[in-house]
Structures are given as structure tokens and as C-alpha cells.
């Protein structure tokens, strides 16, 4: 049996508390009953864009008192944080929301939460949607260890440097990307990480045209360009971690043994079956090793 849920009502929130509230990333049905109740009960709501938040509140019939909505974004939160924390210290209640998803995850709010913590004010989470975690959960890639690095850099050189750092990174990596740069980013990813690294591309999560697929990087770029609609929307890239170095060395050792008796394609297939390593890079290595051997034999 699940425990019963008691929703907060007007006046039942903790005085002086900041509530960090996750909001939908697309589907309005994902705003939890608890989130609705908190937003309806706090004295003020700090929002990334008050117009977007007003529309969300209106959809659920939530009214705020005069001055109950305050804009808090990257350009002003450092200036406003101390004043809002002073309101908490006086016993006020405040909710923090972003335009979509969980505040602070590539969204504003860090200065406010940090200031509240430093002042000793209670901070509570009202959890819910997060595009990075949503994409990871459906990617089919490893979820036991992962890193989230926010939006990819706008310039190609910086993006390639970011991808280059993943060459030996064993954890799954998650990035956000815009519709304007997704093709260039996939080009840069392929150039730095090679065609075999598996990548999930997820777009328009929870929205009408949600779509996701996981493919090797070389195939993914061609798939993405196969339909103009696949370049539209907001994107999350989930990138497979680098293979364990010990496992790679073992796969190479097995491949070398098999190449002494078998052609490259069969040796790569058997090495992949024995070690669990991906076949395609083993086949590429087999061709390289076979070429080296042939060159040596001809000298």
C-alpha cells in the first residue's frame, strides 16, 4: 500500500522556507499535485520568465497575490537573492521555478539557493521533470554512473574540445543542444569520438512530436539528416562512456590470437562474442593489424 498524500493548504507551508519546484518540460500533465499546491500556497514565486509562469499558473487556476510573481534570471538573480532571502528570514514563503524542468539544471536559481543556505533558511525540493534524467532513462545506455554538462558550447572548436574530454571518460555523458546547432554538434562528436560510440538523441521530450533513438555516432548523423523534422525542437544528447581500458586490452589480445588463424571479419566477430566488445571497432583494428602484418611480411 502506498502512503496517503496530504497536500499543503494555505498557511501550512513552513515559514521562512524556499521551495524549489520542478515544472513540466512539455506535457502540462506532469506538474504534480504537490507542486500545484505549493505554488498556490507560497507568498511569492521567483520565475525565470514571469509570462511563461503566469500562463502555467493560469492553466491550473492558480492565482498569486499582487506582486506575487518576481522575475529571477541570469541577469538579475545575484542582485535580487539577498532581498528575497531577507523576506524568508522575516517568515515569508517562496517558490523557485524555471520555464521548464528542474530549476538550476542549466537554468537560473543557484545564487538564490546558495544565499538561502548561507543564511540558514530551510530549502525544500518539490521534484519533477528534468530533461537530462528523462533522456538518460530512455537511452538504453549505462545509468549507474553519468555526468551532466549542460549546453554544448556555441563554437565548433570549443565543442570539439568538450567531446575530446570524453575519449577516455567511462561515464555516460549528457548534454543539451539547440535546433540551430544539432547537425554541427553531431559532426564534431563524430570527428572526436569516432563512428562506433553509441549516442542517444532525444528531442521534444514529453511533447507531441517526442522522438528518440540510440545509434552509433556514424549512423546517427546520417539518420538525423534523413528527415528535416529530426532537426527541429529541443535536444538532449546522451553519449556512451568510453570502454574500460582493461576490457579494451583484453579484446585486442583475443583479436590478435584469432587473427593468427582467421580472416579479419571472422576474427573480429568471434572476439566481439568472446569479450562483449563492439564488433565494428574490432574489425577496424583487425584490418589495421592485418595490414601491418602483410606489410611486415612483404619486407
Q: Where are the domains of the chain?
A: 18-129, 132-239, 245-291
- Which CATH number, 3.40.1010.10, 3.40.50.720, 3.40.190.10, 3.40.50.1000, labels domain 18-129? 3.40.1010.10
Q: What is the pLDDT of residue 245?
A: 62
Q: Any idea which of 4-13, 235-244, 252-261, 289-298 has the lowest mean pLDDT?
A: 289-298
Instruction: Give the C-alpha distances (Å, rounded to integers) separating 43 from 16, 67, 89, 281.
Output: 10, 9, 13, 58
Residue 191 · residue 159 · CB < 8 Å = no
DSSP string, 191-214: HHH-SSSEEEEEESTTSTT-EEEE
Between the alpha carbon of residue 274 and those of residues 142, 252, 262, the distances in Å are 21, 11, 15
The answer, yes or no, to whether residue 180 has pLDDT greater than 80, is: yes
Residue-wise pLDDT for 45-79, tens only, equals 999 999 999 999 999 999 998 899 999 999 999 99
Q: What percent of the chain has pLDDT over 70?
A: 92
- The residue among 185, 209, 215, 213 whose CA lies nearest residue 197 is 215
Model pLDDT for residues 3-28, shown as the tens digit of each residue: 444 545 445 899 999 999 999 999 99
What the block records as the C-alpha cell of 8 is 499543503
Cut 0.85: pTM above it: no
Q: Torsion angle of alpha carbons 54, 58, 62, 67, nearest 10°?
A: 30
Looking at the DSSP assignment, which residues form a beta bridge with residue 23?
101
Whether residue 201 is predicted with pLDDT greater than 90 in this model: the reply is yes
Q: What is the per-residue pLDDT across 29-50, written as a single tens digit (0 to 9) for each?
A: 999 999 999 999 999 999 999 9
Identify the weakest region by mean pLDDT among 10-24, 97-111, 136-150, 225-239: 10-24
Give the residue carrying C-alpha cell 543542444. Answer: 177
Instruction: Give me the pLDDT at residue 243, please.
Output: 77
Confidence of residue 250 (pLDDT cuts 50, 70, 90): confident
The predicted pLDDT at position 277 comes to: 79
Instruction: Please state, as a whole number, how many other Cβ atoms lie within 10 Å of the Cβ of residue 139.
Output: 25
> Across the chain, what does the average pLDDT equal?
91
Which numeric CATH code is attached to 132-239? 3.30.950.10
Amino acid at each position: 500500500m502506498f502512503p496517503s498524500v496530504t497536500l499543503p493548504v494555505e498557511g501550512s507551508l513552513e515559514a521562512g522556507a524556499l521551495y524549489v519546484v520542478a515544472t513540466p518540460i512539455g506535457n502540462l500533465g506532469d506538474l504534480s499535485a504537490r507542486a500545484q499546491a505549493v505554488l498556490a500556497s507560497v507568498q511569492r514565486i521567483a520565475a525565470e520568465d514571469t509570462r511563461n509562469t503566469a500562463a502555467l499558473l493560469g492553466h491550473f487556476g492558480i492565482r498569486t497575490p499582487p506582486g506575487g510573481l518576481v522575475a529571477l534570471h541570469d541577469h538579475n538573480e545575484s542582485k535580487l537573492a539577498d532581498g528575497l532571502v531577507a523576506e524568508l528570514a522575516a517568515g515569508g514563503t517562496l517558490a523557485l521555478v524555471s520555464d521548464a524542468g528542474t530549476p538550476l539544471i542549466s537554468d537560473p536559481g543557484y545564487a538564490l539557493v546558495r544565499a538561502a543556505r548561507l543564511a540558514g533558511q530551510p530549502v525544500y525540493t518539490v521534484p519533477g521533470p528534468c530533461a537530462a534524467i528523462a533522456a538518460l532513462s530512455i537511452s538504453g545506455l549505462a545509468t549507474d554512473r553519468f555526468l551532466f554538462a549542460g549546453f554544448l558550447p556555441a563554437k565548433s572548436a570549443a565543442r570539439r574540445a568538450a567531446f575530446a574530454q570524453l575519449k577516455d571518460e567511462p561515464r555516460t555523458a549528457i548534454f543539451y543542444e539547440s535546433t540551430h546547432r544539432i547537425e554541427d554538434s553531431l559532426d564534431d562528436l563524430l570527428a572526436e569520438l569516432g563512428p562506433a560510440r553509441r549516442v542517444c538523441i532525444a528531442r521534444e521530450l514529453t511533447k507531441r512530436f517526442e522522438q528518440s533513438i540510440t545509434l552509433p555516432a556514424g549512423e546517427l548523423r546520417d539518420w538525423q539528416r534523413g528527415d528535416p523534422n529530426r532537426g527541429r525542437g529541443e535536444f538532449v544528447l546522451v553519449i556512451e562512456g568510453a570502454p574500460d581500458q582493461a576490457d579494451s586490452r583484453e579484446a585486442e589480445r583475443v583479436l590478435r590470437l584469432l587473427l593468427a588463424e582467421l580472416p579479419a571479419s571472422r576474427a573480429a566477430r568471434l572476439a566481439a562474442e568472446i569479450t562483449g566488445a563492439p564488433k565494428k571497432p574490432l574489425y577496424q583494428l583487425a584490418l589495421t593489424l592485418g595490414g601491418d602484418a602483410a606489410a611486415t611480411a612483404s619486407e
